[in-house]
């Protein structure tokens, strides 16, 4: 028996990409904004690195299989997807650590100012990194938090750095990067942009938007696996001006001559100076293979599908009368949101658990939001229709009141 293909999937130019992923049995997965699905090609590539590179070639693989350059080669692959020219993106560490490095760099470049301007609703790690630097630097770093609505107008001549996450992790709201960057430039402030919820989900152009520094995750829309290393972009103009090291994490692999084993630190040229310690080779190999899945698609097609999926989700919710019961807190204007939707309900946590029990994986964000992430490479319109139908039954039958769905787990 053949099942009918959803008419919207029939017209989808990215529909064929779904076959490149392992879709867990009986599962509809709308959590790619937190952890992307695994592709068998990534599995294969990591296995090969384990068996042949580590297994057979052991330490010679640092040269023979280019392990030592992976942060740069993989960085350039990411760079192509965020509009960065070669040699300005590196894949290493976590987003948090990379934030620390670029915030220090930006503060040092704009050293006659101390204010880091950000938004109250930014992802906590972004704010915590500044708070940590503030604690260590005292007067030389001062965090000022404003609302997303007022950010643009709050940038002024005292601002050293504007720290902004393009797409809000909770609401999915997309901030106008071009305007923010332009205003920052006018005021002599530098921009540090967190692309965690943008990279791989929508077109990003760090050069056209004159972004100074950017960071982001690879385990979300790039599907590189849990804890996969993050990325860091630095504009060429900052890499060229080498008065002194740009950040205080003086790791040996960021040294100009790591294998000279010198006593004193001297930063490497270019983006390599943002390296710290030994790269996590197996994880980098996974990022490398996962990025290959973007080789034959355009970010514009990805964005079109992302908007198609989220708009269709809203349409289905409306058809089932769900939008009155759990209002959407994400922008209704598609261009003003990223690749996710969030819905408010006092029982959002239990609703999410009830959905998972029905085979639909979404997530919950405190205090009361159900979050749905759309991954254009593997999600389908049929999945949207089916997931919303299941949600409608849960809401109608108030299944979320079951005690089993109220139990909070450690990771939400
Ligand atoms: C906006 C944003 N920044 C950073 C992170 C995570 O950073 P890290 O890779 O350090 O866990 C996340 C998600 O965890 C995020 O949503
Ligand atoms: N990085 C995560 C993790 O290690 C465990 C659970 C969730 C995450 C996430 O990525 C959360 C994500 N940044 C968010 O937008 O909420």
Going from N- to C-terminal start, the domains of the chain cover 7-30+298-405, 46-294
Atom 13 of ligand 2, residue of closest alpha carbon: 34
Q: Quick check: 311 and 332 in contact, CB under 8 A?
A: no
167 CA: nearest ligand 1 atom: 1
Structure-token pair, residue 98: 């990379």
Q: If we measure between CA atoms, which residue out of 52, 54, 62, 57 comes closest to residue 253?
A: 62
State mean pLDDT over 46-69. Answer: 98
Q: If we measure between CA atoms, which residue out of 217, 224, 189 comes closest to residue 97?
A: 217
Q: Is the pLDDT of residue 346 over 60?
A: yes
**What DSSP designation does 79 have?**
H
- Indicate the class that CATH gives domain 7-30+298-405: alpha beta
Q: What contacts 378, CB < 8 A, 6 or more positions away? A: 17, 18, 20, 21, 23, 29, 32, 37
What is the bridge-based pairing of β-strands 159-165 and 231-234? Answer: unpaired
Q: Is the pLDDT of residue 240 over 90?
A: no
pTM more than 0.95: yes
- Which residue numbers are catalytic? 123, 194, 219-220, 371
What is the bridge-based pairing of β-strands 115-119 and 340-344? Answer: unpaired
Distances in Å between the Cα of 232 and the Cα atoms of 1, 41, 256, 273 are: 49, 25, 19, 11
Structure-token pair, residue 211: 């972004």
CA angle (286, 411, 50) in 5-degree steps: 20
Give ligand 2 pocket residues (Cβ under 6 A).
Answer: 34, 169, 196, 411
Atom 4 of ligand 2, residue of closest alpha carbon: 227
Helices (H) and strands (E) in the chain, counts: 13, 12
Structure-token pair, residue 35: 């952890």
Distances in Å between the Cα of 351 and the Cα atoms of 22, 120, 213, 387, 393 are: 26, 27, 38, 13, 11
Taking only the tens place, the pLDDT of each residue in 255-292 is 999 999 999 999 999 999 999 999 999 999 999 999 99
Residues 375, 7: Cα–Cα separation, whole Å: 19
Rounded to the nearest angstrom, the distance between the alpha carbon of 226 and the centre of ligand 2 is 10
Rounded to the nearest angstrom, the distance between the alpha carbon of 96 and the centre of ligand 1 is 7
Atom 11 of ligand 2, residue of closest alpha carbon: 34
Q: If we measure between CA atoms, which residue out of 186, 189, 283 comes closest to residue 231?
A: 283
Q: What pLDDT score was predicted for residue 412?
A: 83
Q: Which residues pair with 89 in a beta bridge?
A: 233
Q: pLDDT-derived band of residue 145, with 50, 70 and 90 as boundaries?
A: very high
CATH architecture group of domain 46-294: 3-Layer(aba) Sandwich (3.40)
Q: pLDDT-derived band of residue 241, with 50, 70 and 90 as boundaries?
A: low
Alpha carbons within 13 angstroms on the beta-carbon side of residue 402 total 14
Q: Quick check: 142 and 160 in contact, CB under 8 A?
A: no
Rounded to the nearest angstrom, the distance between the alpha carbon of 139 and the centre of ligand 1 is 27
Taking only the tens place, the pLDDT of each residue in 61-94 is 999 999 999 999 999 999 999 999 999 999 999 9
Q: What pLDDT score was predicted for residue 244?
A: 87
């Amino acid at each position: 028996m053949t099942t009918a293909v959803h008419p919207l999937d029939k017209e989808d130019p990215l529909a064929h990409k779904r076959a490149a992923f392992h879709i867990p049995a009986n599962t509809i997965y709308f959590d790619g904004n937190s952890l992307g699905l695994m592709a068998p090609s990534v599995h294969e590539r990591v296995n090969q690195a384990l068996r042949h590179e580590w297994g057979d070639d052991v330490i010679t693989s640092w040269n023979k299989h280019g392990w030592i350059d992976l942060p740069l080669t993989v960085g350039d692959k990411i760079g192509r997807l965020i509009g960065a020219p070669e040699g300005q993106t590196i894949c290493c560490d976590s987003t948090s650590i990379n934030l620390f490095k670029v915030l220090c760099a930006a503060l040092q470049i704009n050293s006659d100012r101390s204010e880091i301007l950000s938004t109250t609703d930014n992802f906590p790690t972004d704010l915590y990194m500044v708070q940590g630097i503030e604690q260590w630097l005292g007067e030389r770093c001062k965090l000022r938090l404003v609302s997303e609505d007022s950010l643009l107008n709050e940038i002024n001549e005292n601002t050293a750095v504007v720290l902004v996450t393009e797409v809000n992790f909770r609401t999915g709201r997309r901030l106008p990067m071009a305007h923010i960057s332009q205003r920052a430039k006018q005021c002599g402030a530098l921009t540090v942009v967190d692309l965690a919820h943008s990279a791989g989900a929508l077109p990003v152009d760090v050069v056209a938007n004159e972004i100074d520094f950017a960071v982001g995750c690879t385990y979300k829309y790039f599907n590189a696996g849990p804890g996969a290393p993050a990325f860091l972009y630095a504009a060429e103009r900052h890499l060229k001006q080498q008065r002194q090291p740009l950040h205080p994490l003086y790791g040996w692999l960021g040294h100009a001559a790591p294998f000279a084993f010198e006593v004193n630190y001297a930063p490497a040229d270019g983006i390599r100076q943002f390296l710290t310690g030994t790269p996590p080779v197996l994880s980098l190999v996974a990022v490398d293979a996962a990025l290959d899945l973007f080789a034959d698609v355009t970010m514009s097609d990805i964005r079109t599908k992302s908007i198609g999926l989220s708009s269709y989700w809203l349409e289905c919710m409306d058809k089932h009368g769900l939008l009155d019961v759990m209002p959407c807190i994400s922008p209704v204007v598609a261009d003003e949101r990223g690749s996710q939707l969030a819905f408010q309900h006092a029982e959002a946590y239990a609703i999410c658990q009830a959905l998972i029990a029905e085979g639909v994986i979404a997530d919950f964000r405190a205090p009361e939001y159900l979050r749905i992430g759309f991954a254009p490479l593997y999600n389908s319109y049929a999945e949207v229709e089916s997931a919303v139908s299941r949600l409608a039954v849960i809401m109608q039958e108030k299944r979320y009141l079951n005690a089993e769905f109220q139990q909070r787990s450690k990771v939400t």
